[in-house]
Structure 1
Amino acid sequence: MAILTLKHVTKSFNKQTKVLKDINLEVEKGEYVAIMGESGAGKSTLLNIIATLDKATSGEVSLTGFDLNKLKESEAAKFRRQHLGFVFQHFNLLDTLSNRDNIYLPMVLNKEKHQEMAQRLEPLASQLEIESLLDRYPYEISGGQAQRIAVARALITKPELLLADEPTGALDSQNTKRLLDLFTKVNQAGQTILMVTHSALAASYSKRTLFIKDGLIYHELYRGDSSQQEYLQKISAGLTALTSEGGLN
């Protein structure tokens, strides 16, 4: 069952600049999809539309049956908190709050009871190995630890869709692998993930990779039964073809 559907989506910032030209996309419940493309191809714009941070100029965008184009600005923030989780490149944690309170923040804004927050955090903290970090502050921990706090914040609301925007961009190779292994585990547990990345390695952890070029979905790859290494090679070849003059056939 598709939880995210985009039909003929376009986005123009003025009459001369059409960033998205005709995007058609379905994401099934439980999928793990990576989106790749050169800078300016439209990846971030597409993610912002799905995240309800921006609206399409034309076309249909629906998530779990909600027409996102019809959401009022006052409704969008609540919708994001209740249906979406976010993981960003630079973590976006608040230094004035403890790591525990950073994780609780979306549930606090939803006026959830403290008991419910604590019950949800306990298994997450164990899974992410952050129990010892909860009462510290973001400025007291490493980048890899901060990203795991951010993942906990994204998952504590049990979102229908986890959106990740260059989640490994600020991490070293060891913490990159740790985060991507974590994404694999939460996806295997049923979490739907949509990730924008420049990294072929990061994309190789997904089940499907979309390539965007000039505002269009230009090509896609399915992992299928391929090993991660085989899939990585296919993605790398796809990127090479994408950036070549002839493109993909």
Structure 2
Amino acid sequence: MTLLNLQHVQRVYNPNSANPVMALKDITFKVEEGEYVAIMGESGAGKSTLLNIIATLEQATNGQAILNGQDLRQLSKDDAARYRREHLGFVFQHFNLLDSLSNRDNVYLPLVLAKAPVATMEERIKPLIDRLRINKIIDRFPSEISGGQQQRIAIARALITHPDLLLADEPTGALDSNTSNEILELFDEVNANGQTIIMVTHSAAAASHAKRTLFIKDGRIYHELYRGDLSLKDYQQQISQTMMTLTNGGE
């Protein structure tokens, strides 16, 4: 079943000025439930703009962006904020945890904002503590744990709302290679449990964990690769070769 459907999406900044900027020119693709999709491209290609539109942080200037039957362009600012809380999970490069809250309260935060009952919070956090292996750190504070552990807490916070879609923006960008591999393996496990994931990354190693990789160039989908039965190593090599072609201006 199609979860996300983008059709001819454009995003123009300052459209009425003498120098409008077209960040996205024509983006069309679909994401099925349970997919794990990576998005890659050079700096300025439109990756962040695309993620912001899917995240309801920005609206497309033209085209359709439909997530689980909801036309995102039709959401008011207040409705978009509510939609994010109820349907989307976010994992960021720099974790975005609140130092004044315990790790447990950081995980609870989206449900607190949604005014969920305490019993619901306690019920939902239990499987996450086990799955993400955070039982030893859940009642400590972000300043007391490592970067990789902070990202585990951030993933738990993203998943506690049971989101339709998990959006990850450079989730391993602030981590060393060993810790990055641990986090990517967690994403593999989360996806294997049915969670749909879209990850923006500059790392071919990170993208090789996805089942499909979209490459953006000059505001358009330049190419896409499917992992299929390829090993991580072989898929990473294909991704790297495609990025090299893209960077060198190949068509």
Matched with 1:11 is: 11
Measure the CA separation in 1 of the matches of 2:192 and 2:130: 17
Matched with 2:214 is: 210
- The superposition leaves residues 165-218 of structure 1 with CA deviations (integer Å, 9 ceiling, x where unpaired) of 000000011110000000000101100000000000000000000000000000
> Aligned residues: percent identity?
63
Give 2:141's match in structure 1, choosing from 132, 137, 140. Answer: 137
Matched with 1:55 is: 59
Which portions of structure 1, spanning 4 or more consecutive aligned residues, are displaced by more than 6 angstroms?
Answer: none
Measure the CA separation in 1 of the matches of 2:109 and 2:177: 29
Shift of 1:139: 1.0
1:146-157 to 2 correspondences below 5 Å: 146-157=150-161
Measure the CA separation in 1 of the matches of 2:75 and 2:142: 33
Measure the CA separation in 2 of the matches of 1:238 and 1:226: 16
Matched with 1:200 is: 204
Matched with 1:224 is: 228
Q: Residue 233 in 1 paired to residue 231 in 2?
A: no
Q: Residue 44 in 1 paired to residue 72 in 2?
A: no
Matched with 2:32 is: 28
Matched with 1:125 is: 129
Give 1:103's match in structure 2, choosing from 107, 111, 127. Answer: 107
- Code of the residue aligned with 2:147 in structure 1: it is G
Measure the CA separation in 2 of the matches of 1:134 and 1:186: 19
Could you tell which deviates more after superposition, 198-207 or 14-23?
14-23
Measure the CA separation in 1 of the matches of 2:209 and 2:158: 19
What secondary structure does 2:8 align onto?
Answer: strand
Aligned positions, number: 247
Measure the CA separation in 1 of the matches of 2:142 and 2:107: 11
Matched with 1:90 is: 94
- The superposition leaves residues 84-134 of structure 1 with CA deviations (integer Å, 9 ceiling, x where unpaired) of 000000000001111000000001111111111111111101111111111
Measure the CA separation in 2 of the matches of 1:134 and 1:243: 42
Matched with 1:67 is: 71
Matched with 2:247 is: 243
Measure the CA separation in 2 of the matches of 1:3 and 1:174: 32
Matched with 2:194 is: 190
- Code of the residue aligned with 2:6 in structure 1: it is L
Shift of 1:25: 1.1
What secondary structure does 1:8 align onto?
Answer: strand
What secondary structure does 2:99 align onto?
Answer: coil
Shift of 1:14: 2.1
What secondary structure does 1:179 align onto?
Answer: helix
What secondary structure does 2:34 align onto?
Answer: coil
Measure the CA separation in 2 of the matches of 1:227 and 1:136: 38
TM-score, structure 1 normalization: 0.98
TM-score, structure 2 normalization: 0.97
Measured on the aligned residues, the alpha-carbon RMSD in Å equals: 0.7
